[in-house]
Structure 1
Amino acid sequence: MTESRKIVVVLKGYPRLSETFIAQELLGLERAGFELALVALRRPTDKKRHPVHDEIRAPVHYLPEYLHEEFPRVLRALAICLPKPGFWRALPSLVADFWRDRTRNRLRRFGQAMVLCAEWPENGAWLHAHFIHTPASVARYASMIGGTPWTCSAHAKDIWTSPEWELAGKLASTRWTVTCTQTGFEHLRHLAGGKPHVHLSYHGLDLTRFATFDGTRPPLDGSQPDAPVTIVSVGRAVEKKGFDILLRALSLLPADLHWKFEHIGGGELLTKLQALAAELGIAGNVTWHGALSQTEVLQHYRSADIFALACRITADGDRDGLPNVLVEASSQSLVCVSTNISGVPELLVDGENGFVVPPEDPQALAGAIEKAIRDPALRQRLGNAAEQTVRREFDHQTSIRQLKNLFETEWRTSQ
């Protein structure tokens, strides 16, 4: 880059343990020579941080999460933004959005956008939103008010739970948008009218943090009570992760198999899942670790025999894209059992480098897990193949190079 150009990145919350892929990208962009300023709509709630968060140099600026809690700050922002021609250009968009979705959330995002413009980071030259729902709403309004171009990274829930009219409007106003699965890419490209400014960009992994596992896993087959096979899963206890399906599948395993299940993550449904495990009679086989750091999670990947995640589409359309934890586990030659939802089949092919079954089917999931438990040689073969896939196709440096080129191309053409 010939000159320093600062990117103002709008995030829903920061830092968040469940969004290592975002933190990894932010650090990658800094190392590629970009200066960043982070703007979050919500303060952190996690008690732990990943090491990557401490390596990111960018300052973090928090907008008021609820406008009434910092009303003087919002009023000051309104006074600063009112004289701007962009404010009056943005106002009709707010009215149109509110007319179609009459919720306080619309007004809140406009208020946050005003505060962002009034407290604009010094030398900020570009806006980039992570997630095409609420952070993109703030970025879009702020772009209109302040006249700063904006771009977006869309992921999973934000795509599939947003109305199509809203997605189409945002896509029409971004300079470009990237997303991380083929299914999401095809959906957004369609809503953008086939315009070429929507791009597919897999997050991938920082493979320096997920080095090849040089250890060996014992060839356990579940036949010995004192040597159970360890099944691990990582993810927030929310509906789309399908942990209730996974627990039901585990309860269907034959009585002669010896296994233990470890869950890593927090989440709103944790208490209900613990009660379900007791109801199913498998609570003694289950350990709930809560949220852990990336370093701790890596050790669990390496000590486990199987990784399982029963991804599903919820009633409101929410779903995962390509869960980063599947890529992480695969990088450690840990065989994965999952479902054919969204981007999962873009990583895992049933019988080639993992087990892939239909969603919402505890019996099919149990069958795949049983097969994996009983055949340690198959686990090793599929896990090794999955690792090769990750190291060949999911190195995050590919995504960083793509983003770097997109940003620099836009800046060259705007000069």
Structure 2
Amino acid sequence: MKIAFIVWRFPVLSEAFILNQITGLIDRGHEVHIHPVNGVPAKNPGKAHPVIEEYNLLKRTYYPPTRPENDLLRLLKGLGLVLTNIDKGSLRTLQFLNPWKYGPEVATLKSFYRTVPLLKDGSYDIIHCQFGTLAPIALAFRNAGILKGKLITTFRGIDISKYVQEQGEHFYDQLFEEGEFFLANCEFFRDRAVALGCNPQKIVVHGSGIDCSKFVFKPRHFPEDGRVRIATTGRLVEKKGIEYAIRAVAKLADTHANIEYNIIGDGVLKEHFQQLITELNVGHVVKLLGWKQQREIIEILDNSHIFVAPSVTAADGNQDAPVNTLKEAMAMGLPVISTLHGGIPELVEDGISGFLVPEQDPDAIAEKLSYLITHPEMWHEMGQAGRARVEEKYDMNRLNDELVAIYQQLVNSQLPNQKLQQQPLALTSSPSH
């Protein structure tokens, strides 16, 4: 099959779940084109995911032409793109400038730029929008005949929480009517899509997978040096709830002097967190490590004993699905503490693979941390349960087989089976890349 991945930017270090799907499809012999509608992300030197080079993914990526900063130059260049591509049907893009018909992501000069790679070759078996926010763009392009193929949309969190709160509950009405099929990365977001008007027969849960073979299980025992290492991986943004974990660790710093809390990630709240660490006088305990490559993250987790993922509902409504960083930690045998938030209870079984606490509750996090620190005999059993859960529900290879099966049924004009996830899937051959 020939498949278009519609993404906002590419590559993005925090979106390994998209890379896992791309490489899985390539391994199964399919042709994947990546279309980042907003171009290249901000530079992050030395932090590219290794599979970008391994699979030569940039050669499969079709970037729109760069847009000048100057408004006049941007307009002139956009008109030039239309004129030089008339033979490819560029005049069809003029219809996108109708703000009464299209939203702000389509009725804009950006559409001239975004359609250029598609004017050369926009015909696909499957058009896969990796966030719901991208789907109105793809739908408009398809309706104009610029993009061709069965349209499938994955809801991943921000698109079905914050974005709906901003745009209104009818924002996806046209998409639900005209899109062929939908995926949600957890039951929580599937239920929300259905409540917004998605046909329940046209949406299934398809989780974000991880490569379990890269996250080796290790039994956790109380360290000989007595230093208990706690870790969190995630963007330094409000919905990750990291502030509450920092406050929780600060509450334990006096009674559990030999603890260490490492936070892996970067983001807009970095300076705020650094100030908070200083105010709480826990700079000797809490460390902001910045972004790390996957192998560096694995090394840090391998030397950790407890993992914390304190996600919260942000003020703008943004919510999380079962986050991949939590799956990775569980796959490696770490007992975890997370929150009763979004799709996370679908991953973490409270009291079995870890503990779930209310959102925005540093006291509850501190209580569970203290309990785990003083009951290390629980670590191994919880770690085993977490590994089993991840292997059962979030193994990348099984999920990629499932994705191919969904694609194939859509191409054959069949509605994918609602019970697809429970059915055994025949493994496909994996040609070299």
Provide the TM-score with structure 2 as the length reference. 0.84
Give the whole-Å Cα distance in 2 for the aligned partners of 1:338 and 1:312: 10
Instruction: Note the alpha carbon deviations across 1:197-251, whole angstroms, 9 max, x for none.
Output: 11210122112222333xx54414xxx9x63210011011011101111111111
Give the whole-Å Cα distance in 1 for the aligned partners of 2:293 and 2:286: 20
Alignment of 1:2-81 (within 5 A): 5-40=1-36, 41-45=38-42, 46-47=44-45, 48-58=47-57, 59-64=60-65, 66=67, 68=71, 70-79=74-83, 80=85
Q: Secondary structure at the match of 1:157?
A: coil
Specify the alignment match of 1:204 in structure 2: 209
Q: Secondary structure at the match of 1:368?
A: helix
Give the whole-Å Cα distance in 1 for the aligned partners of 2:88 and 2:18: 35
Select which of 186, 193, 200 maps to 2:191.
Answer: 186
Query: Do the aligned residues in 2 keep the contact of 1:319 with 1:342 (CA within 8 Å)?
Result: yes
Q: Secondary structure at the match of 2:32?
A: strand
Q: RMSD between aligned alpha carbons?
A: 2.6
Specify the alignment match of 1:291 in structure 2: 291
1:316 aligns with 2:320: no
User: How many angstroms does 1:126 deviate by?
Assistant: 3.5
Query: Do the aligned residues in 2 keep the contact of 1:354 with 1:382 (CA within 8 Å)?
Result: yes
User: How many angstroms does 1:186 deviate by?
Assistant: 0.9
Give the whole-Å Cα distance in 2 for the aligned partners of 1:143 and 1:77: 19
Specify the alignment match of 1:172 in structure 2: 177
Give the whole-Å Cα distance in 2 for the aligned partners of 1:279 and 1:373: 25
1:398 aligns with 2:401: no
Select which of 201, 216, 222 maps to 1:219.
Answer: 222
User: How many angstroms does 1:168 deviate by?
Assistant: 2.5
Specify the alignment match of 1:110 in structure 2: 111
Query: Do the aligned residues in 2 keep the contact of 1:109 with 1:137 (CA within 8 Å)?
Result: no
Give the whole-Å Cα distance in 2 for the aligned partners of 1:379 and 1:106: 54
Give the whole-Å Cα distance in 2 for the aligned partners of 1:230 and 1:274: 19
Query: Do the aligned residues in 2 keep the contact of 1:29 with 1:400 (CA within 8 Å)?
Result: yes
User: How many angstroms does 1:254 deviate by?
Assistant: 5.9
Instruction: Note the alpha carbon deviations across 1:366-413, whole angstroms, 9 max, x for none.
Output: 111111111111122211211111122221222212211121122223
Instruction: Note the alpha carbon deviations across 1:237-296, whole angstroms, 9 max, x for none.
Output: 011101111111111126221211101111111111011011011111122211111111
Unaligned ranges ≥5, structure 1: none
Bigger mean CA offset, 109-118 vs 254-263? 109-118
> Aligned partner of 1:175: which letter?
E
> Aligned partner of 1:6: which letter?
K
Unaligned ranges ≥5, structure 2: 415-433
Give the whole-Å Cα distance in 2 for the aligned partners of 1:212 and 1:337: 18
Alignment of 1:346-365 (within 5 A): 346-365=346-365
Mark the CA change 1:238 to 1:85 in structure 2 (over 3 Å): closer, same or farther: closer
> Aligned partner of 2:314: which letter?
T
Give the whole-Å Cα distance in 2 for the aligned partners of 1:126 and 1:35: 10
Q: Secondary structure at the match of 2:213?
A: coil
Query: Do the aligned residues in 2 keep the contact of 1:74 with 1:115 (CA within 8 Å)?
Result: no
Query: Do the aligned residues in 1 keep the contact of 2:88 with 2:120 (CA within 8 Å)?
Result: no
Give the whole-Å Cα distance in 2 for the aligned partners of 1:94 and 1:190: 27
User: How many angstroms does 1:16 deviate by?
Assistant: 1.2
Q: Secondary structure at the match of 2:101?
A: helix
Q: Secondary structure at the match of 2:214?
A: coil
Instruction: Count matched residues.
Output: 398
Provide the TM-score with structure 1 as the length reference. 0.88
Query: Do the aligned residues in 2 keep the contact of 1:113 with 1:141 (CA within 8 Å)?
Result: no
Instruction: Note the alpha carbon deviations across 1:283-340, whole angstroms, 9 max, x for none.
Output: 1112221111111111111110110111000111112111100000000010111101
User: How many angstroms does 1:92 deviate by?
Assistant: 8.8
Q: Secondary structure at the match of 1:17?
A: coil
Instruction: Note the alpha carbon deviations across 1:15-41, whole angstroms, 9 max, x for none.
Output: 111111110111011112210111112
Q: Secondary structure at the match of 1:62?
A: coil
Mark the CA change 1:303 to 1:254 in structure 2 (over 3 Å): closer, same or farther: closer
Give the whole-Å Cα distance in 2 for the aligned partners of 1:319 and 1:182: 13
User: How many angstroms does 1:105 deviate by?
Assistant: 7.4
Query: Do the aligned residues in 1 keep the contact of 2:20 with 2:209 (CA within 8 Å)?
Result: no
Specify the alignment match of 2:100 in structure 1: 95
Q: Secondary structure at the match of 2:211?
A: coil
Give the whole-Å Cα distance in 2 for the aligned partners of 1:218 and 1:16: 35
